[in-house]
Amino acid sequence: MARLRLEILEFDDLDTWRWRLTEPGGAFVADHEVRLDPADPGRDRFHDLDPNLPDARIEDAGRWIGERVLGAIGPAIAARAPVTVEVHVPEGAEGLLDRPLELGHAGGRPLALHDVSLVWLPPGCAPVPKRPSGERLRVLAVFSVPTDVAGLALRRERYELSRYVVETLVARQNRAIEFRVLQYGVTRERLREVLQEGDGWDVVHFSGHGLAGGLVLETEEGSRDLVEAGDLIELLHPARDQIELVTLFSCLSAASTAASTLRRLGLPPEPADAASDRERAGEPLTALATRIACRAGCAVLAMRHPIEDGFAIDLSLGLYHRLLDNRQPLPRALQLAIQNAVRAPAGIRPSALAPATPALFGAPAAELRFQAPAGTPLFFDPGQLRAAGLPREPERFVGRVGQLARASRALAAGSGQSGVLFHGPPGHGKTTCAAELAYRHQDGFGLLAWHDLPGPGADISDALAGLARALDARVEGLRLAERVASRERLEAFLPLLAEFLERRAVLLVLDNLESLLTEAGGWRDARWEPLVAALTGHRGQSRVVLVSRRPPVVLDPGIQVEEIGPLTRVEQALLARELPRLGALIRAGDPGPALARRLLETSGGAPGRLVRADAALADPAAAEAILREAGAAGERPSRPLREVDVLRGRMGQLVEKAKQLGLAEDRELSELARRVTTLLFDAPIDLAAAAAAVATYQERLAGHDQWADRD
């Protein structure tokens, strides 16, 4: 691929300098004197481009940059495409690193769509010698969404990227690539621990919330933790002698995606998040990118502005496909990935700014290539097949960030906890949460066992023996099946089982636990009580994940209890947008969005109902009936989603207050809570009855609270 050198000469200020474009050997190609008029409105857009401008205004800015800033340089570069242009930035001109030169037009299109890659070289930077990758290429992907930040579509990006690397490159092409994912509970301590691993990392991919001076990770409590540029560089320092590429897919795309989807559905927007407003007001990530490029001596790919989630996913997939599979140099891989992402049928056309958003920094970016070594010969090793028996990893997963972050901390080594309970109404995604958690932690355990208990209403007489047989098949020498025939023999063996679980790392998932429980939460078969106590009472290496519609009355305090309630209306909208048929309704003309809104309203916030409704729309007859019913619902007064969300949030606060007062097992309050759950979570929702039930619960709780104060 062709190479050019673009120099900034005679620099006076950010309005006055001269470009000189040369061949690698120094042969002159073109030059252009930049003299920007402070009174020209185009100058302000060049220096401080608002990414929220309409496409027409963005295109106007691109034409202005092409004419006034690039001049003869733009056509000269485009004529040599595909081409890599090294932009040498002298001291004092660092402000130009933030300017969207890639947006400048040549021949009626942005440079970024001419197969042109600008590689920005900050002053005073030098590459750091790198050690070889070794027997495998190591890629670390970090996806961080603090629980107090509006959700990003990071999970779908992670799912698609993981599937591509693991299924295509590793499984089908037998490439030796280790792809590690950090998601849910990504604290700076967890990141430091992984970055300090002795084998090092060749590629570090960050995707999450970003600011001008750093990245937003998570605290131990799940709230946002701004890791400033200096701290992030310090975290990366132990691996700097091997890291060759850092990618910063750090944007705020889901907030705008959610807002636009709510508008399409005819729903009011969410209140603005003050912290997000501060983030949007910050400068692009180029300051962080240039510091990483200089201090780590590596290539950096960063986003200048927020980009749509669909474009971000298509861009990252296209980049790694061409970088790791096609073995293209980084600039060419990025050129092709941008072209692909612009054309990709993602459902919503990316903005005019999107192609010019990715930017390369650091001298190594101009020539960087990766050669993934060949994998080991194919052989059958059951010990490596940890995910055997798990349900298929969910393709789509929205929300539940806080629950999964806390659950992830419970499953971590040294947490002092023995597991997690996911509980809540049917159809709300408890099993999906357990699967998501198990897939993220499968490499942290020597054995992963998933067991489906009989469903509600089924015969449970053989349930314990069935679990024992399943575990005996996975753990040689356990012989649990012969010990469960009587409670006495089982209880005599359980101390040995507890010690085994304490010493060895086993992850056990038990789904449909509610079938073993009475309505009051007691055990129908008395043998389950001591067994579950043994599974949950230790504080060693093993963990158990329990999934149930209702929690057991007695549960070891080492279990992290997480209620899986309905999705918020924003999460409902984001999930519906990702589903193929509901998404098509949202993007269609009238009455599509209104019909989609009715389907959301009748789902009760249960993701399972949305997924089933979307699948049913594939059948023409069923689709006609569903849409006819949705249309009829539209003629009746609509259930306001915001009021339901408020009631659900209020009820959650009241239940938490009951726990703080030690009233979680109070029979009257528990019965009231179950009634509220039915009224608020099961469609169709009776809003008036639900509001009355919440008020009654609050009155009863207030009485207990006053009694506690007097005592």
Q: What is the pLDDT of residues 659-669, one digit of tens each?
A: 777 776 677 77
How many residues are present in the chain? 711
Taking all residues of the chain, what is their mean pLDDT, rounded to a whole number?
84
Residues 6+ apart with CB under 8 A from 489: 483
CB-neighbour burial class of residue 343 (10 A; exposed 0-12, middle 13-18, buried 19+): exposed
> If pLDDT is split at 50, 70 and 90, which confidence band does 277 have?
very low
pLDDT digits (tens, 9 = 90+) for 561-609: 999 989 888 888 888 888 888 888 888 877 788 888 888 888 888 898 8
> What percentage of the chain exceeds 70 in pLDDT?
85
Q: Of 485, 487, 479, which is closest to residue 529 (Cα–Cα)?
A: 487
Residues 6+ apart with CB under 8 A from 448: 386, 387, 389, 390, 438, 442, 506, 507, 509
Maximum mean pLDDT: which of 234-238, 270-274, 433-437, 693-697 = 433-437
Whether the Cβ atoms of residue 107 and residue 78 lie closer than 8 Å to each other: yes
pLDDT at 430 over 90: yes
Q: What is the mean pLDDT of residues 492-511?
A: 95
Q: Of 218, 211, 156, which is closest to residue 184 (Cα–Cα)?
A: 218
Q: Who has greater pLDDT, 52 or 454?
A: 454
Q: What is the mean pLDDT of residues 389-416?
A: 87
pLDDT at 209 over 70: no
Residues 6+ apart with CB under 8 A from 136: 176, 177, 178, 372, 373
> If pLDDT is split at 50, 70 and 90, which confidence band does 261 have?
confident
pLDDT confidence of residue 540: 95
Coil, strand or helix at 429: coil
pLDDT confidence of residue 685: 59
pLDDT confidence of residue 705: 55
Weakest-pLDDT range from 16-20, 177-181, 279-283, 642-646: 279-283
pLDDT confidence of residue 65: 97
Rounded Cα distance, 551 and 175, in Å: 45
Was domain 382-563 assigned CATH 3.40.640.10? Answer: no
- 507 forms beta bridges with 448, 543
What is the Cα Rg of the chain in Å? 28
Q: Of 305, 303, 344, which is closest to residue 321 (Cα–Cα)?
A: 344
pLDDT confidence of residue 313: 86
Using H for helix, E for strand and C for coil, what is the string for 322-339? HHHHCCCCHHHHHHHHHH
Amino acid letter at 346? A
CATH class of 2-118: alpha beta
Residues 6+ apart with CB under 8 A from 696: 672
pLDDT digits (tens, 9 = 90+) for 460-487: 999 999 999 999 998 999 999 999 988 8
Q: What is the DSSP string of 684-708?
A: SP-HHHHHHHHHHHHHHHHHHHHHH
pLDDT confidence of residue 399: 82
pLDDT confidence of residue 531: 96
Each residue of 262-294: b (16+ CB within 10 Å) or e? bebbebeebeeeebeeebbeeebbbbbbbbbbb
Rounded Cα distance, 667 and 105, in Å: 70
CATH class of 137-366: alpha beta
Q: How far is C-alpha 589 from the geometric centre of its chain's CA atoms? A: 30
pLDDT confidence of residue 216: 78
Rounded Cα distance, 553 and 612, in Å: 32
pLDDT confidence of residue 708: 41
pLDDT at 367 over 80: yes
The pTM for the full model equals 0.78
pLDDT confidence of residue 636: 40
Rounded Cα distance, 704 and 711, in Å: 10
Residues 6+ apart with CB under 8 A from 17: 8, 9, 10, 11, 33, 34, 93
pLDDT at 23 over 60: yes
Maximum mean pLDDT: which of 29-43, 187-201, 390-404, 673-687 = 29-43
pLDDT confidence of residue 79: 96
Residue 266 Ramachandran class (φ > 0 left, ψ -120 to 50 alpha, else beta): left
H/E segment holding residue 17: strand 16-22
Whether the Cβ atoms of residue 157 and residue 309 lie closer than 8 Å to each other: yes
Angle between helices 253-265 and 592-602 (to 10 degrees): 100
Rounded Cα distance, 233 and 240, in Å: 9
